[in-house]
Amino acid sequence: MEVFCMGVHIAVVGNGRIGRPTAYTIFNERLADELSLVDVKPGQAWAFGEELRHVAASLRYDVEIHTYEEDGDVSGADFVISTGDHPDTLRFRTKLSLDLGVPISKVEGFVGGEHGSAAHCLWSTVSIGGVPIDDYLGSTGKRLDREGVTAYVRGVSKKVVDIIGGTEVGPASGFRDIVRSILQDRGETYSIADSLRLPTMDEAVNVSVPTRVDARIGPNIWSSLTEGERQNIISAARAIQANYRAGLQAVGKE
């Protein structure tokens, strides 16, 4: 059943390799009745907007489309999140499905921390058909190369970029998941990056922890993770904090 979100205005800032499929995916699910496209490249937003108008004609979708070349929109939002490790979570589940030979619909599990080498597979969250991964492996006699799975999660996007120039529809579908859950108040759990003050940290950092996503963001599953998983996420948060402070120093604001 389709659920339409009336009175919703979504802006997609950046209409390049990821922005276009993100907007198109959101558009096809009719998640907004007003869409703003923003890109600083002259003509980019306009050209893509024209294509989406043609798609709207095909879908008989009454949507208002605006295009801009300046990113000065102010959302007035009560909170700011990022998609965090949700795209990595999708890669994690994909690899588990392939390696275990099970349908992707049967696979649960999350990634936490941040992208790249600080993306951590949260094995305590993994289940196959509702069965915890260790119990599943024990009952089936199957083997799983966990280090190989982690290497895939951390490295597959670079391989995609090297071959076709960038990731596109994978991240776009992840963005769609999160936007849809917020707008439709679904309360689904995604590994978003929210501002968290973690133990031993001197300030809040936007780091990825599986979190309930709806019109109010939270709670997360921090307390149910293993101690090792929590420490890995804290290490990722410290790396994010260090990069942020280095960036401030580079522009003379630290």
Is residue 35 within 8 Å of residue 6, measured between CB atoms?
no
What is the number of alpha carbons within 13 Å of residue 55 lying toward its C-beta?
A: 19
Q: How remote is the C-alpha of 83 from its chain's centroid?
A: 3
Is residue 85 within 8 Å of residue 78, measured between CB atoms?
no
Is 115 among the residues known to form the active site?
yes
The secondary element (H helix, E strand) that includes residue 249 is: helix 227-250
Is residue 37 within 8 Å of residue 23, measured between CB atoms?
yes
Q: Pick the catalytic residue from 9, 54, 86, 115.
A: 115
- Give the Å distances, CA to CA, from 46 to 9, 33, 112, 128, 168: 18, 18, 37, 45, 20
Residue type, 219: P
Residue in the structure block whose two tokens are 């998983």 = 229
Per-residue buried b or exposed e for 94-118, using 16+ beta carbons within 10 Å of the residue's own CB: bbbbebbebeeebbbbbbbbbbeeb
Residue type, 141: G
**Strand pairing partners for 120?**
112
Taking alpha carbons only, the member of 21, 23, 36, 29 closest to residue 5 is: 29
Q: Give me the active site residues, please.
A: 115
